[in-house]
């Protein structure tokens, strides 16, 4: 009986010693986002979102900035009768984030097996996105869709964009900067921070960033939804004014030569 009591006591002591380590590994990241809200004005040309926080010192941080899901319809091109390239039909991509940005530390590169196994990058969206009509080769169409979104800066992977400072008290400060494109739309966006250790995701923390239009863009949007006729008139006036301004600029340029 005493032997069992000693074994039980030893087991409880071992658990007590290991408990702080286990608890620390399970601690999610704490972080702040700057700016905490984004205003889209007439001069908006994109913005850098900075994420600062701390994670367990033996873990890595992966940061994501993404929008909600939407459906995207694209024209599929092909050769008619093997001769001419033309639209062959419409392909719809369901459950697509409009914006999907990822930042990783240098230890998690695009080529590393550890990164591929985490399923946190752009390639993981193939499991989320549905394509209709169902294609024979989903991966090929998915790759073309990602290329299109990446070309417009809506999808991006920032490998090595997460940096660390010296750890203290078992925690490691981190910082990440994500370049948000000028095509950002109003809405609610999600910032996620994952802790990664030994090739697996340990925890996830998240917050939201609200994006709103201000000034003249907000005025135009209110016209478009509330007073479409007036919106059309204003749009024509803006187009005419832009044309006149362009003509004056080029005329002045020609006179200079």
pLDDT tens digits along 5-30: 554 444 444 444 444 444 444 567 89
Beta bridge mates, 158: 103
Q: How far apart are CA 100 and CA 182, in angstroms?
A: 14
Within 8 A by CB and 6+ apart from 178, the residues are 48, 49, 50, 51, 63, 65, 101, 103, 158, 161
Q: How far apart are CA 107 and CA 114, in angstroms?
A: 9
**Cβ-contact 52, 32 below 8 angstroms:** yes
What pLDDT, on the 0 to 100 scale, is given for residue 134? 87
* Helix, strand and coil in the chain, % to nearest 5: 35, 40, 25
H helix intervals, 85-137: 113-118
Q: How confident is the model at residue 113 (pLDDT cuts 50, 70, 90)?
A: confident
Residue 141 confidence (pLDDT) above 60: yes
Q: What is the pLDDT of residues 189-210, one digit of tens each?
A: 999 999 999 889 999 999 999 9
Q: How far apart are CA 190 and CA 235, in angstroms?
A: 33
**Cβ-contact 45, 183 below 8 angstroms:** no
Q: What is the pLDDT of residues 211-226, one digit of tens each?
A: 988 765 555 556 455 5
Query: What's 122's DSSP letter?
Result: G
What's the mean per-residue pLDDT of the chain?
Answer: 79
**Cβ-contact 151, 24 below 8 angstroms:** no
Q: Looking at the whole model, is its pTM more than 0.75? A: no
Domain range 23-212, CATH architecture? Sandwich (2.60)
H helix intervals, the chain: 2-26, 113-118, 138-151, 215-226, 228-256
């Amino acid at each position: 009986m005493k032997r069992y009591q000693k074994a039980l006591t030893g087991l409880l002591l071992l658990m007590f010693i290991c408990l702080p380590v286990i608890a620390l590994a399970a601690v999610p990241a704490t972080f702040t986002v700057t700016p905490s809200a984004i205003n889209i004005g007439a001069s908006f040309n994109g913005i850098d979102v900075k994420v600062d926080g701390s994670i367990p010192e033996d873990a890595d941080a992966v940061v994501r900035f993404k929008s909600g899901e939407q459906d995207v319809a694209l024209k599929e091109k092909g050769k008619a009768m093997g001769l001419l390239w033309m639209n062959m039909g419409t392909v719809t991509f369901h459950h697509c984030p409009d914006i999907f940005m990822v930042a990783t530390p240098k230890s998690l590169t695009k080529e590393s097996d550890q990164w591929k196994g985490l399923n946190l990058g752009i390639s993981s969206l193939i499991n989320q996105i549905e394509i209709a009509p169902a294609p024979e080769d989903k991966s090929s169409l998915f790759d073309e869709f990602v290329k299109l979104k990446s070309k417009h800066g809506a999808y991006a992977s920032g490998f090595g964009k997460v940096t660390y400072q010296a750890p203290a008290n078992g925690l490691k400060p981190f910082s990440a900067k994500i370049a948000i494109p000028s095509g950002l739309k109003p809405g609610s966006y999600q910032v996620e921070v994952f802790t990664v250790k030994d090739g697996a995701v340990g925890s996830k923390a998240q917050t939201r960033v609200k994006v709103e239009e201000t000034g003249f863009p907000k005025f135009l949007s209110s016209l478009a939804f509330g007073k479409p006729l007036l919106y059309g008139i204003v749009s024509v006036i803006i187009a005419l004014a832009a044309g006149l301004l362009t003509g004056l600029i080029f005329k002045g340029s020609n006179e200079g030569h």
